[in-house]
A = this chain, B = another copy of it.
């Protein structure tokens, strides 16, 4: 599965473009972020990318998880966002 690393200086609109182009090839992609500022850019990118794929009848779903990575010998907890593209009718809510 492809992995996109998003940093605090990443531009959400550019990340959204990358996300969309990968998701048109395969149904899911993982985004990895370290820290609140990077997570913010990543989530904005997902919100923007939703607009790119919406005309095709698709929606983006994101699943966050913790993932420890080692940087310069130090363990850092990153957040991995698994982003999935599904057709909208996939999600029928009994209660909404």
Interface residues of A (CB under 8 A from B): 1, 26-28, 35-37, 39-40, 43-44, 46-47, 50, 59-66, 79, 81, 84, 86, 90-91, 93-96
Chain B nearest CB from A44 CB (Å) reads: 8
Interface SS, A side: mixed
Contact across chains for B79 and A43 when beta carbons are under 8 A apart: yes
Q: Which 9 A-B pairs give the minimum distances between C-beta atoms?
A: A36-B40, A61-B61, A36-B36, A47-B64, A26-B95, A43-B64, A62-B62, A27-B95, A36-B37
| CB pairs A–B below 8 angstroms (7 shown) | A28-B96, A35-B40, A44-B66, A44-B79, A47-B65, A84-B93, A86-B91
Give the distance in Å from the alpha carbon of A64 to the alpha carbon of B95 in the complex. 20
Residue contact B93 to A28, C-beta cutoff 8 Å: yes
